[in-house]
């Protein structure tokens, strides 16, 4: 069995793959539409409890997001790290299955 690559390794390989196919120079609006399409497929797979389709859909969603981030000049690894730093020590509580941060609870 092949060893899994890190997010950063995959993002680098995917960026090269997209570059070779001239996707990075295309209109980001097109890629954003692909993100929405893949999100719909992810939703359908989840709602229908199709595990293998869900794995494929989440992977495709990540691929489209990584390509989009590169098209708009962002590093997806930095974006993910920034998001993690933002939420790592966030406090709040889960209400009806949704995490609500403290600052929103006090409004």
Residue 14 and residue 6 in contact, taking contact as beta carbons nearer than 8 Å:
no
Domain assignment present for residue 2? The answer is no
Domain assignment present for residue 67? The answer is yes
Q: Can you give the pTM of this predicted structure? A: 0.87
Domain assignment present for residue 1? The answer is no
| Gap between the Cα atoms of 83 and 80, Å rounded | 5
Helix (H, G, I), strand (E, B) or coil at 92: strand
Domain range holding 61? 7-105
Domain assignment present for residue 76? The answer is yes
The enclosing domain of 19 has a CATH number of: 1.10.287.1080
| Tens digit of pLDDT at every position of the chain (107 positions) | 789 999 999 999 999 999 999 999 999 999 999 999 999 999 999 999 999 999 999 999 999 999 999 999 999 999 999 999 998 988 889 999 998 988 888 76
Structure tokens at 95: 């209400």
Domain assignment present for residue 42? The answer is yes
Q: How many domains does the chain have?
A: 1
| Gap between the Cα atoms of 65 and 32, Å rounded | 8
């Amino acid at each position: 069995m092949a060893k899994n690559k890190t997010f950063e390794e995959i993002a680098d390989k995917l960026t090269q793959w997209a570059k070779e196919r001239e996707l990075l120079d295309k209109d980001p609006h097109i890629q954003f539409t692909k993100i929405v399409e893949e999100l719909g497929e992810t939703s359908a797979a989840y709602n229908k409890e199709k595990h293998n389709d869900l794995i494929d859909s989440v992977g495709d969603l990540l691929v489209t997001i990584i390509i989009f981030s590169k098209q708009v000049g962002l590093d997806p690894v930095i974006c993910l790290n920034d998001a993690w730093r933002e939420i790592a020590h966030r406090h709040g509580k889960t209400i009806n299955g949704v995490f609500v941060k403290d600052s929103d609870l006090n409004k």
